[in-house]
Amino acid sequence: MVGAESVICRLAEDTDAGIDMVAETLPADVLEKMHAPTKPDVPLADPHKLPEADAFVFGFPTRFGMMCSQMKNFFDATGMLWQNGALHGKPVSLFTSTASQGGGQETTLMTAVTQLAHHGMIYVSAGYAAGGVMFGLQEAKGGSPWGAGTLAGPDGSRQPSEGELEAIRSQAKAFGPIAKKLAA
C-alpha cells in the first residue's frame, strides 16, 4: 500500500512496532524499465528475526491474484522456522493493493493465509470492522473482510483514499487488542 509506512506508524499506538521491507528480487534494469518508484529507506526484513515479534501485519501488492514474488520469496525463507514451530500461535493480519478494482484483492489475501496456516499462525481478518466504509458505494476502493486494500492504479501512482485509510485504521484498531491478548 503506497504510504504504508506512515499508516502503520499511526496505527502502532501503544506498541513497539517496526516497519521492514522484504528484499527486492527484480534486477535494477527491470525496475527502471517498469518506472518503479524508489524504495523507501527502511530496514530489510530478516525472516529469522520473526520469532522475536509478538504479532505481525503484513502488507504486499497483488500480482495476478496472488502475493508478489518478493513476499513469497520472504515466506519461502522461513522453512527452518516452520520446521521448529517458531511462529506457531502468533497473530497476523494482512492488507494489500491492486492496480484495479477487479485485481484480485480477496484471492491474494485468501491464498496468503496458506503461508500462515503452515506456520500455525493465527489469522485475524479485518471482518467488517470498518463498517459503513466497506458498504459505501460512492467511490471505487479496495478492501474486503479478508483485509484492507487500496487501488494503486495501473502505474501504482494512486494514493489510498480516505475510505481506504479508514478501513486499515479500523482493521488495526480491531487487531491490536487481539494481538496484545495473545501475546500476554
**Average pLDDT per consecutive 10 residues, the chain (184 residues; last block may be shorter):** 49 69 93 84 93 94 94 97 98 95 93 97 90 79 92 89 90 90 84
Residue 48: what pLDDT?
96
Residue 36 neighbours by CB under 8 Å, 6+ apart: 26, 156
Which neighbouring-strand residues pair with 153?
Answer: none
Residue 133: what pLDDT?
76
Residue 13: what pLDDT?
57
Residue 7: what pLDDT?
52
Residue 8: what pLDDT?
54
Number of separate domains in the chain: 1
Q: What is the dihedral of CA 72, 76, 77, 83, to 10 degrees?
A: 140
Residue 4: what pLDDT?
52
The C-alpha atoms of residue 172 and residue 125 are separated, in whole angstroms, by 10
Print the domain residue range for 17: 4-183
Q: What is the dihedral of CA 7, 10, 13, 15, to 10 degrees?
A: 50
- Sign for the pseudo-dihedral over CA of 39, 40, 44, 45: negative
Which neighbouring-strand residues pair with 66?
Answer: 63
Residue 146: what pLDDT?
94
Q: Note the pTM of the prediction, 2 decimals.
A: 0.89
Q: Domain containing 128 — which CATH number?
A: 3.40.50.360
Residue 72 cell numbers, joined: 513469497
- What is the per-residue DSSP string for the chain? -TTHHHHHHHH-TTS-----BPPP-S-HHHHHHTTPPPPPS-PBP-GGGGGG-S-EEEEEEEETTEE-HHHHHHHHTTHHHHHHTTTTT-EEEEEEEESSTTS-HHHHHHHHHHHHHHHT-EE---TTTTTHHHH--SS----BTTBEEEE--TTS-PPPPHHHHHHHHHHHHHHHHHHHHHH-
Residue 10: what pLDDT?
52
